[in-house]
């Protein structure tokens, strides 16, 4: 083989080798770009997930706490207290403003409960729920509950609570869904129908709070309203041994024997528009 031919073959081998090296380098760069792009994509997806989680309140139960009315107490501040906070006995009431059985309970026991409250023997913890909305549709339970919570901001809960039950429509009539009607009823409570209260009712300020209270009730083990507990014991469910106003007085007297009456009124936030230190809730 001539020197010229050997040189030509060597040059061809070198060119082939160079091309292979170039191809390898190109493939390496391609793989690097693919990997890099994948990392960026993963990071971008993670960032989006993080934003979604942050917006949904992820990391601590999945939802942010609902705004609660002034002076609310209990787990997640879902309780509206009424009566002396240091009263020796506690009546827990789960109620729905559209519930006819709740209306009957109020009619039969309201004066007795008020008397026990005002004498410092009993404090009441109200849990507002919306069972009838769920059963029959509508928003009367929700809107009335929100309005009652708005009244709590004005330190007028007990008075407005009584007005709502005094004007409770029939179960199938969702009249409490009408906010102008709720505002009309608020006019029956002196000093309640302020600009702040009106805005609170119209804006549904405590709608989420009522819904949270209703959800908590669903997890409580109870399934009807009214549910009434005295110092944690259900006293209103036994149809064979029905509760009466006199029996409620006796139960409270027995539980309170040897204990001083309460005198401390519930604390209402300074943001309440019409504070009334002498009110009992």
pLDDT score at 254:
98
pTM of the predicted structure, to 2 decimals: 0.73
Measured distance CA(230)–CA(98) in Å, rounded: 23
User: How far is residue 163's CA from residue 186's CA, in Å, rounded to a whole number?
Assistant: 8
Residue with the larger pLDDT of the pair 20 and 145: 145
Give yes or no for residue 43 having a pLDDT over 50.
Answer: no
Residue 218 above 90 pLDDT? Answer: yes
Which of 95, 157, 124 shows the shortest CA–CA distance to 248?
A: 124
- With a pLDDT cut of 90, the percent of the chain lying above it is 68
pLDDT tens figures, 62-89? 334 689 999 999 999 999 999 999 999 9
Residue 8: pLDDT band with limits 50, 70, 90: low
Average pLDDT score over residue span 199-219: 97
**C-beta neighbour count of 203 within 10 angstroms:** 12
Q: Name the band, by pLDDT with cuts 50, 70 and 90, for residue 15.
A: low
Q: What is the pLDDT of residue 196?
A: 98
How many whole angstroms separate alpha carbon 224 and alpha carbon 5? 103
Question: Which is more confident, 101 or 265?
Answer: 101
Write out pLDDT tens, residues 238-275.
Answer: 889 899 999 999 999 999 999 999 998 776 653 343 33
Question: In the chain, what percentage of residues exceed pLDDT 70?
Answer: 72
- Predicted pLDDT at 238: 87
Distance of alpha carbon 105 from alpha carbon 117, whole angstroms: 16
Handedness of CA 244, 245, 246, 252 (dihedral sign): positive
Query: Which two three-digit tokens encode residue 26?
Result: 């190109």
Residue environment code for 1-17, b if the CB has 16+ CB neighbours within 10 A, otherwise e? eeeeeeeeeeeeeeeee
pLDDT in tens, 220-238: 999 899 999 999 999 998 8
Confidence class for position 7, pLDDT limits 50, 70, 90:
low
pLDDT at 136 over 80: yes
Cα pseudo-dihedral 202, 208, 165, 102, rounded to 10 = 160
Helices (H), 137-279: 140-153, 157-166, 179-186, 195-203, 207-218, 245-255
The angle that helices 140-153 and 157-166 make with each other, rounded to 10 degrees, is: 150
Q: Is the pLDDT of residue 48 over 70?
A: no
Residue matched to tokens 């170039």? 22
């Amino acid at each position: 083989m001539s020197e010229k031919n050997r040189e030509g073959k060597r040059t061809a081998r070198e060119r082939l080798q160079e091309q292979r090296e170039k191809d390898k380098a190109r493939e390496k760069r391609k793989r690097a770009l693919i990997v890099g792009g994948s990392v960026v994509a993963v990071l971008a997806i993670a960032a989006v997930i993080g934003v979604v989680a942050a917006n949904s309140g992820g990391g601590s139960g999945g939802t942010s706490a609902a705004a609660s009315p002034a002076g609310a107490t209990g787990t997640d501040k879902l309780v509206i207290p009424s009566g002396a906070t240091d009263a020796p006995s506690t009546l827990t009431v789960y109620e729905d403003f559209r519930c006819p059985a709740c209306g009957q309970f109020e009619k039969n026991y309201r004066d007795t409960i008020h008397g026990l409250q005002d004498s410092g023997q009993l404090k009441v913890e109200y849990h507002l729920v919306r069972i009838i909305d769920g059963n029959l549709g509508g928003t009367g339970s929700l809107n009335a509950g929100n309005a009652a919570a708005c009244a709590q901001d004005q330190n007028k809960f007990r008075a407005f609570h009584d007005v709502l039950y005094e004007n409770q429509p029939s179960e199938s009539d969702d009249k409490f869904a009408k906010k102008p009607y709720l505002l009309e009823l608020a006019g029956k409570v002196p000093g309640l129908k302020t600009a702040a209260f009106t805005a609170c009712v119209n804006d549904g300020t405590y709608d989420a709070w009522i819904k949270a209270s209703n959800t908590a009730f669903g997890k409580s083990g109870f399934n009807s309203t009214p549910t009434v507990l005295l110092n944690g014991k259900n006293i209103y469910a036994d149809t064979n041994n029905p509760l009466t106003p006199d029996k409620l007085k006796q139960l409270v007297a027995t539980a309170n024997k040897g204990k001083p009456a309460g005198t401390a009124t519930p604390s209402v936030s300074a943001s309440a528009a019409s504070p009334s230190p002498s009110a009992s809730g």
